[in-house]
Chains A and B, each alone.
Chain A
């Protein structure tokens, strides 16, 4: 069974801080994704990575960056946290881009920016 592990379930940070959210998958998947989940908006894609050191912007990349130095790990970085980045953040992975394969999700990190 695929395991996607996010480093924290709950995180509280202050405005202006640099925040790191970590995600690790154990199935050697090529593709990894970061979403944010907000009530009434569903899931919105922030960034994705289709291979090590490769990244692409999603629908809402502003204020975020990512890092993928190793295949199993995909980090989301909030360069200077703001209160409008308070949200639930979900990491996902899947084997490859093609064929509409389903994504596997982590438990999520609920981030509060004060």
Chain B
């Protein structure tokens, strides 16, 4: 079964700073990769997904992620964060019938 590692447990940033969250999964083959976000008090929402093709995928709210097959990585980026990006972010990998999730990264953006 896949295991998913998110490098940071908690990240604290100021507004307009750039954000990068690391995600690595355990083994190769055909993978489908996802980033989900959970804003305080809300349900998990899909930020972006990778199935195939261009390894640089763009999602909602200015987020993007890069799939690097050789590194088993799918890192999330945003060039300039806003206070409203304060949330918990989860990386997930499609593992046969299910999703395997990372432990999550809490992002706090200071105004």
Contacts and interface: CB of A to CB of B under 8 A. Distances in A.
Interface of A: 4, 31, 33, 40-45, 48, 50, 56, 58-59, 90, 92, 97, 99-100, 102-103, 105-108
A90 B43 CA distance: 9
B44 A90 contact: yes
Contacts of A97: 97
A106 B44 CA distance: 8
Contact of B32 (A43, A58, A100, A105): A100
Given A40-B104, A43-B90, 15 more contacts: A31-B97, A42-B4, A42-B101, A43-B101, A45-B98, A48-B98, A58-B98, A99-B51, A100-B49, A100-B51, A100-B94, A105-B36, A105-B44, A105-B45, A107-B42
Interface string B52-87: 000000000000000000000000000000000000
B17 interface: no
Contacts of A43: 90, 92, 99, 101
A33 B98 contact: yes
Contacts of A42: 4, 6, 90, 101-104
20 contacts: A4-B43, A31-B97, A40-B103, A40-B104, A42-B101, A42-B103, A43-B90, A43-B92, A43-B99, A43-B101, A48-B97, A90-B44, A97-B97, A100-B49, A102-B34, A103-B99, A105-B36, A105-B43, A106-B43, A107-B43
Contacts of B34: 102
Contacts, number: 49
A85 B57 CA distance: 37
A108 B88 CA distance: 15
Contact of B49 (A33, A48, A102): A102
Contacts of A50: 97
A99 B99 CA distance: 12
Nearest to A102: B46
A99 B94 CA distance: 9
Contacts of A107: 42-43
Contacts of A105: 36, 43-45
